[in-house]
Every structure is written in structure tokens, then in C-alpha cells.
């Protein structure tokens, strides 16, 4: 397996597992995401799309390498957001001061009922942690490691 192939593999697997873990924690374990949690999910979704493009373009090493690098940047973006969110949870700096989950559509009564039934999830409180590291912290660590691994493999990949 070439370094470019390894980079593409990490570029597709890392965000898929991290986003999948976030969705499992939400829908299976009931850990509802706050706004900053959602901010971490979008770059992973983008990274998955970019990695898929890199895989489709594997016959064109230059283009494939470019899209794998873009996927790594998206993963890194999620990781940076995760570190920022973890810092808010640990009280190292100020984060968001308001929640912004607002349902749209339906009658006034439907919107009001939706607001009243929506769980309030604060960005400055970690709903779960392991060894003192929150989910946001793990996303930061794992995303940073994945992005660095992709960049390292791409730097070692044969010139196209």
C-alpha cells in the first residue's frame, strides 16, 4: 500500500468514525449536542466528501493528493474547534453565552411545543468524560493526530 493510499484511508476512516461516534453518543446514549458540538461535525462531513473524491480520483495522483490534503484540513478544522470547545468546558476561556437551537416551521403552538421539548445543552458543561477528557477533547486529539498522519503520509508520497 502506498503512502497516498494510506493517507486516503485515514482521510475517509477518521472522520467517518468520529462523526459516527458523535451520532451514536447522541442517538444511542442520549448525549444531545450543543452548538459547538455541531460545529465539529460539519468539517468531518466535508472531510468525508473530500476523501471520497480523493478515492475516486486515485487514477490521478496529483488530484487525489490535493483532495486528501483538503480532507486533512477539514479534519484539522474540526479538531481545532474541538480543542476550543474543550477549553470552554474546562473553563479556560469564555465560549458561547447563549443557546441557539431554534425550531422553524409549523404553527405557533407547534414551534412553542418544539422549543419546550428540546433538551437544553450547554456548551460549557461536558456531558461525558473519560480520564478527564471530554468528547470535544477526544475529537480534538484524534482529529489532530489524523490530520498530522495524513499530512506526513502525503509529504512522503511519490511526486505525481
Low-confidence ranges of the chain (pLDDT < 70): 96-106, 114-126, 128-129, 159-160
pLDDT at 160: 47
Do 20 and 47 touch, CB atoms closer than 8 A? no
- HSE (CB half, 13 Å, CA atoms) of 46? 16
Length of the chain: 160
Domain that holds residue 66: 3-96+124-156
158: DSSP letter? P
pLDDT at 145: 96
- Compute the radius of gyration of the chain from its Cα atoms: 18
Residue 15 lies in a domain: yes
Residue 107 lies in a domain: no
Structural domain total, the chain: 1
Do 153 and 7 touch, CB atoms closer than 8 A? yes
Residue 70 lies in a domain: yes
pLDDT at 129: 67
Residue 118 lies in a domain: no
pLDDT at 125: 66
Residue 104 lies in a domain: no
Identify which of 74, 87, 66, 86 has the alpha carbon closest to the alpha carbon of residue 128. 86
Residue 64 lies in a domain: yes
Residue 66 lies in a domain: yes
Residue 111 lies in a domain: no
Query: Alpha helices, DSSP H only, in 1-134?
Result: 3-27, 35-56, 61-89, 108-117
Amino acid at each position: 500500500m502506498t503512502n497516498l493510499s494510506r493517507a486516503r484511508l485515514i482521510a475517509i476512516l477518521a472522520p467517518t468514525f468520529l462523526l459516527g461516534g458523535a451520532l451514536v453518543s447522541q442517538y444511542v446514549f442520549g448525549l444531545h449536542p450543543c452548538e459547538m458540538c455541531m460545529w465539529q461535525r460539519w468539517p468531518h462531513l466535508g472531510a468525508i466528501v473530500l476523501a471520497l473524491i480523493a478515492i475516486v480520483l486515485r487514477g490521478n495522483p496529483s488530484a487525489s493528493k490535493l483532495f486528501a490534503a483538503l480532507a486533512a484540513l477539514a479534519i484539522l478544522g474540526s479538531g481545532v474547534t474541538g480543542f476550543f470547545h474543550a477549553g470552554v468546558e474546562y473553563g479556560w476561556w469564555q465560549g458561547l453565552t447563549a443557546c441557539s437551537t431554534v425550531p422553524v416551521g409549523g404553527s405557533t403552538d407547534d414551534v412553542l411545543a418544539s422549543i419546550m421539548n428540546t433538551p437544553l445543552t450547554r456548551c460549557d458543561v461536558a456531558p461525558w468524560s473519560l480520564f478527564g477528557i471530554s468528547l470535544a477533547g477526544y475529537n480534538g486529539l484524534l482529529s489532530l493526530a489524523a490530520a498530522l498522519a495524513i499530512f506526513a503520509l502525503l509529504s512522503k508520497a511519490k511526486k505525481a
